[in-house]
Amino acid sequence: MEQNDQSKRLKTDIWSKEDLREIRLKYQKYFEFIDELLKFVPKFLPEGQIDIEAKKSGVLFATAILALFAKSVKSLRAIKILCWQGLGSDANALLRTLLECLISLRFIKMEDKEKKATEYFAFCAIQERKLMNAMQNNPKLKYVISEPIRKVVMDVTEGIKAEMSEEEFENRYKASHWSGGQIETVAQEVGLKMYYDLAYRISSRAIHATDFSDHVKYHNGFKLYILPGDKWHREVLFASVLFFLLILIEVNEAFYLRQDEALESFKDRFEQLTQTLDSQ
């Protein structure tokens, strides 16, 4: 009877500071590499004006590329911070964001650049309208949407709507991806299906909170792991650096930044890093 009672108890496991130090030491080379990449960004894309005419880029295309690049830089920094704090399972969810930036960059660059960029910004505006509608319907948040904000959002989306058929606008409004299709299909089209399958399968558990085994174990009763642990760190750090390097390559090509040599050096060093860690 005592054993049965024991097996029904719920325990919590409190991690010590030593565990966090061990995680940081174990993945130190990855953290240092990410820091180098982030420090490289201002050199890669220096502050100043981009001559899009000389680079044969349209304004919307160039702006979309920059927006996606900015998002990827922030996502990589967030992944590094989470893993540094021992929250690899939570950083896992951000892999999707980084991958979507990469997929979008490649898709916009393929052909009809300005058209695709227009579709991207149309979707951004529609998302703003959907957010505004949700906030206006919430008694606790509706005060945030002032009349000037509401007018700007409505004017932009109504302008977009005027450029499309009613059916097309409705489809865009309901779409889950700015292309109007499925992200998996777009990934296939731009040659990233393998990465899509990897990242989405890895991160789905974290995003949908079905990563039960990362937080709860069973051994003579359930044990709950609340504080940091070494779970998914290597996978997340490896994939995030890989995706970001590919993003740098896409942006380098889009703006003719002539950073090929520096990027090739990063690629070679990253390959050496992963081989070294894999052999340990």
Is pLDDT above 90 for 80?
yes
Is pLDDT above 80 for 123?
yes
pTM of structure: 0.85
Which range is least confidently modeled, 17-21, 42-46, 68-72, 122-126? 17-21
Residue 207 domain flag? yes
Rounded to the nearest integer, the mean pLDDT of the chain is 85
Residue written as tokens 């890989």? 242
Residue 6 is predicted with a pLDDT of: 52
Instruction: Report which residue type is found at 254.
Output: A
Average pLDDT of span 54-81: 90
What number of CA atoms fall less than 13 Å from residue 108's CA on the CB side?
A: 32
Residue 151 domain flag? no
Residue 138 domain flag? no
Average pLDDT of span 233-257: 94
Average pLDDT of span 245-266: 95
Residue 13 is predicted with a pLDDT of: 54
Residue 53 is predicted with a pLDDT of: 61
Report how many domains make up the chain: 1
Contact 179, 107 (CB under 8 A): yes
Residue 280 is predicted with a pLDDT of: 62
Which range is least confidently modeled, 21-25, 125-129, 171-175, 182-186? 171-175
Residue 143 domain flag? no
Residue 210 is predicted with a pLDDT of: 84
The range of the structural domain enclosing residue 87 comes to 2-111+191-278
Contact 240, 232 (CB under 8 A): no
Is pLDDT above 60 for 203?
yes
The span from the CA of 71 to the CA of 96, in Å, is: 12
Residue 170 is predicted with a pLDDT of: 80
Is pLDDT above 80 for 270?
yes
Q: How confident is the model at residue 129 (pLDDT cuts 50, 70, 90)?
A: confident
Residue 131 domain flag? no
Give the full edge-to-edge strand order of the sheet including 10-13: 10-13, 222-225, 216-218
How far is residue 189 from each of residues 34, 123, 124, 192, 242, measured CA to CA in Å? 29, 20, 22, 8, 19
Is pLDDT above 50 for 1?
no
Most confident segment among 76-85, 140-149, 154-163: 76-85
Residue 183 domain flag? no
Residue 51 domain flag? yes
**CB burial class (10 A; 0-12, 13-18, 19+) of residue 235?**
middle
Is pLDDT above 80 for 2?
no
Q: Which residue has the higher pLDDT, 15 or 58?
A: 58
Residue 258 domain flag? yes
Instruction: Report which residue type is found at 131.
Output: L
Closest CA to 233 of 126, 79, 108, 102: 79
